[in-house]
Structure 1
C-alpha cells in the first residue's frame, strides 16, 4: 500500500465513526418504535441493536477504512473484544468519575468516549485490521 493511501485512512476512520454513530443512535429508537413487541421488551431491543450495530461498524471499518481481505473471523473477534472490553471499562469507570470525582455524568461519558475514539484507532489499525509488513 502506498503512503498516500495510508495517510487518508484516519480521515476515512473519522467518516466511518460519524456514520456508525448516526446509525447507532437511530437504530435502537427505530427498533423500539416500529416493533410493537419491543416496546415492552426494550432490553431485548438493546441487545439486538448492539449486535446489529457491532456488525455494521465492523463492516464499515473493514470495507471502508482498512480495506482488508479475508480473516473475517479473526478480525471480527478482535473487533468485538475491543468493544466488549470497553463496555466493561465504561461500566466501571463512569461511576468512579461521577460518584468519586464529582464529574457530571454527561461530561464523564463524553470524556470516556473521546478516549474510546483514540483507543479504537490504535487498536483497529494495529490489531484488528493489521496487515503484515504495513505500518499504520
Structure 2
C-alpha cells in the first residue's frame, strides 16, 4: 500500500508532464493514423498525398490544441493568442514537412506513410518545451495550469 501511495504522490508532483505524455500519445496516435487513413480510404488522396498532408495538418492542429489546452496546461489565457502561438509552432513544423515529405518520397523513394511517420517522430521532442514556454505560459501568477 505504501508503494502505491508513493507512486500517486510522485504522479501528483509531476502532474503536467504526465498529462502531456498522455495527450501526446493520443495526439500522436490520432495524427499518425489520420494521414494514412486518408491515403488508404480515398483513391484521390492516395494519388495526391500532399493534399492529404494539408488536410491532415489542419485537422490535427485543432485536435492537438484542444487536448493540450483542456487536458494538459489548463490555462485561462486568451484562447486566440494561445492558438496563434500553438499554430505558429505547428505550421513552422508543417513548412519543414512540406519540404521533407517530397524529398523523402521522390528523392529517396520512400512510401509516403513511413516517410511521414519518420518526420513526425523527429519533431516530437521540441513541442513540449515550446508549448510550455511560449504557447501556454502563465500570464498571471495564479495561472499555474496544474
Report the TM-score when normalising by structure 1: 0.68
Q: Distance in 1 between matches of 2:36 and 2:28?
A: 13
Residue 66 of structure 2 corresponds to residue 42 of structure 1 = no
1:16 paired residue number: 23
Residue 134 of structure 2 corresponds to residue 127 of structure 1 = yes
Per-residue deviation at 1:14? 1.0
- The ranges of structure 1 where at least 4 consecutive aligned residues each deviate by more than 3 angstroms after the TM superposition are 86-92
Alignment equivalent of 1:77, drawn from 84, 98, 120: 84
2:8 paired residue number: none
For structure 2, which runs of at least 5 residues remain unmatched after alignment?
1-10, 104-114
Within 5 A, what are the aligned runs for 1:1-136?
7-69=14-76, 71-88=78-95, 113=122, 116-132=123-139, 133=141
Change (3 A) 1:85 1:62: same
Change (3 A) 1:47 1:88: closer
Change (3 A) 1:6 1:57: farther
For the pair shown, the structure with the greater C-alpha radius of gyration is: 2
Could you report, residue by residue, the CA deviation over 1:76-106 in whole angstroms, capped at 9, with x for unpaired residues?
11011112233445758xx9xxxxxxxxxx9
Deviates more, 1:48-57 or 1:81-90: 81-90
Report the TM-score when normalising by structure 2: 0.64
RMSD across aligned C-alpha pairs, in angstroms? 2.9
Per-residue deviation at 1:26? 0.7
Per-residue deviation at 1:68? 1.8
Per-residue deviation at 1:39? 3.0
Q: Distance in 2 between matches of 1:8 and 1:41?
A: 41
